[in-house]
């Protein structure tokens, strides 16, 4: 029931927000060019990969050797605005509509992180990833990885309709206030280190 309800709400929101999505897409097309959306393979339920859909927020600027510049250098003012307001994440409603994501759950991480979780942290893959989650309302990208992943697991172990509703309401406040936007680059999160770097001398 929950699965069908969330897909239905996502479809309705996509319809209601279509004018806003169109405007954002046109602005991105004018400022950054094509493509308007950005897709990346992320870890879904049970670790199954899926294509996360976001609005594009970075340029394709390259150095003299043809290599892409760093994320910091390619994130222009438009991209910073889209990320800090979470407008770049609106297309993820398509992922919810397709049943690949939920409204609340651990945020989906790149597939390359699969072997960087401890055995306990792998529990975050027991539920659908979410548009927002407990870690996002407790500090967003400003949290360290260990704390962020622990909050994800706590959510899995304690999830309920009441908790989801509280997280959704808190998300509105966090997005409007732009709390928890990480580091000087504006809105990016550092890469999750390998297990050996996070816990020297410790295995999974």
Q: Please, what is the end-to-end C-alpha distance for the chain in angstroms?
A: 35
- Mean pLDDT across the chain: 89
What is the separation of C-alpha 59 from the centre of its chain, rounded to a whole number of angstroms? 19
pTM (predicted TM-score)? 0.89
Residue 158: per-residue pLDDT: 97
- Based on DSSP, count helices (H) and strands (E) in the chain, helices before strands: 9, 4
182 has a pLDDT exceeding 50 = no
- Give me the torsion for CA of 104, 106, 172, 80, rounded to 10°: -140
Distance CA 79, CA 9 (A): 27
Task: Quote the percentage of the chain above a pLDDT of 70.
Answer: 91
- Report the half-sphere exposure of 113 (CA within 13 A, side-chain side): 22
Residue 73: per-residue pLDDT: 81
Distance CA 85, CA 177 (A): 9
pLDDT digit string, tens, across residues 97-153: 999 999 999 999 999 999 999 999 999 999 999 999 999 998 776 788 999 999 999
**What mean pLDDT is predicted for residues 52-76?**
85
Residue 186: per-residue pLDDT: 47
Distance CA 183, CA 190 (A): 9
Distance CA 93, CA 48 (A): 19
185 has a pLDDT exceeding 60 = no
Cβ atoms within 10 A of the Cβ of 106, count?
27
Question: What's the longest Cα–Cα distance across the chain?
Answer: 54
**What mean pLDDT is predicted for residues 12-18?**
97
Domain-wise residue ranges, the chain: 2-183
Cis bond leading into 103, ω under 30°? no
Residue 49: per-residue pLDDT: 97
């Amino acid at each position: 029931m929950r699965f069908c309800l969330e897909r239905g709400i996502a479809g309705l929101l996509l319809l209601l927000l279509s004018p806003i999505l169109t405007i954002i897409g046109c602005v991105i097309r004018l400022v950054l060019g094509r493509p308007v959306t950005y897709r990346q393979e992320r870890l879904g339920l049970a670790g199954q990969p899926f294509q996360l859909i976001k609005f594009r927020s970075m340029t394709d600027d390259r150095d003299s050797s043809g290599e892409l510049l760093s994320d910091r250098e390619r994130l222009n003012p438009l991209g910073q605005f889209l990320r800090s307001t979470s407008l770049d994440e609106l297309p993820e409603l398509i992922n919810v509509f397709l049943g690949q994501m939920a409204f609340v759950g651990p945020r989906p991480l790149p597939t390359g992180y699969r072997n960087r979780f401890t055995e306990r942290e792998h529990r975050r893959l027991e539920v659908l990833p979410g548009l927002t989650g407990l870690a996002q309302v407790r500090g967003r990208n400003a949290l360290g990885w260990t704390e962020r992943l622990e909050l994800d697991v706590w959510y899995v172990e304690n999830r309920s309709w009441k908790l989801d509703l509280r997280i959704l309401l808190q998300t509105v406040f966090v997005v409007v206030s732009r709390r928890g936007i990480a580091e000087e680059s504006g809105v990016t999160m550092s890469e999750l280190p390998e297990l050996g770097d996070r816990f020297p001398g410790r295995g999974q």
